[in-house]
Structure 1
Amino acid sequence: MSVSKEFALKIVDLLEDKKANDITVIDVEGISPIADCFVIATGTSSTHINALSDHLSKELKEDLKHREGKVSGGWILLDFKDVIVHVFTGETRAYYSLERVWSDAPRVALHN
């Protein structure tokens, strides 16, 4: 397993610790020039997505390259260079439907 996928699975563990919903890891290595994996997760509210992104930022602060988005917008993006994390509210996730956009990319099997 690649280092990027291992790191993505570490992120999954951290998201599960804070009760993120519907976590998906998409392998975009060789498809996207911006990352090897996307991790997509849903929070139950804007407060929850903020807590999820804060938890990742704190636990992985040395690896975090960039954070953007607003809790009020329902989407926070965390850039860990080879792994990009998208934390959404349910409504915003459904609207942007990243899984549909990247439907040709394989999904990484989660360990749960």
Structure 2
Amino acid sequence: MDNISQNEKLSTIVKALDSKRAEDIRIIEIGDLTIVADYFVIANGTSSTQTKALAEEVEFKMSQLGIEPNRTEGYQGATWVVLDYGDIIVHVFYKETRDHYNLERLWSDGKDIDVKQFLPDEPQD
């Protein structure tokens, strides 16, 4: 299972977040800016319970692919859960915490990747 492409990983992460109704899912390509990772995936929940559920769903779906995080942080307070998959780091925030830290602004030199390519077409209401 170790031959899973970054696109497959990103797709799995985004779909997991979307399935649990994550808000404002963003993918930022940061590989040219840092050796930390190639991508950040950022999303938020509207409660600490949802935030934790979002992170758990990502972990569950990735482990079904045989991929476990190198590190996880933040499950205790569940206001900012980090799942470190090496090349992809997932940040799941509680909404207010996300607004406060504003990673998107900190990493604004990164390249925004269109999340829609990883989601099934949904009817617009």
Of 87-96 and 70-79, more deviation after overlay is shown by 70-79
Kept in 2, the 8 Å contact 1:5–1:37? The answer is no
- In the TM superposition, what whole-angstrom CA distance separates every residue of 1:24-82 from its partner, at most 9, and x where no partner exists? 00001121101000000010100001111111111212322211113525100001110
Give the gaps of 5 or more residues in structure 1. Answer: none
Matched, 1:88 2:93: yes
- In the TM superposition, what whole-angstrom CA distance separates every residue of 1:71-100 from its partner, at most 9, and x where no partner exists? 525100001110000000110001100000
- The corresponding residue for 1:38 is 40
Larger radius of gyration, structure 1 or 2?
Answer: 2
Letter in 1 for 2:43: A
Give the TM-score, by structure 1 length.
0.90
Q: 1:78 aligns with which of 71, 77, 83?
A: 83
- The corresponding residue for 1:104 is 109
Q: 2:50 aligns with which of 48, 51, 56?
A: 48
Give the gaps of 5 or more residues in structure 2. Answer: 120-125
Say which SS state the counterpart of residue 31 (structure 1) adopts. coil
Detail structure 1 runs of 4+ shifted over 3 Å in the superposition.
none
The CA RMSD over aligned residues, in Å, is 1.4
**How many residue pairs get matched?**
110
Aligned sequence identity (%)? 39
Say which SS state the counterpart of residue 90 (structure 2) adopts. strand
Matched, 1:25 2:27: yes
Give the TM-score, by structure 2 length.
0.81
Kept in 1, the 8 Å contact 2:79–2:97? The answer is yes
Q: Hey, what's the Cα distance between the residues in 1 that align with 2:11 and 2:99?
A: 23
Q: 2:72 aligns with which of 67, 72, 76?
A: 67
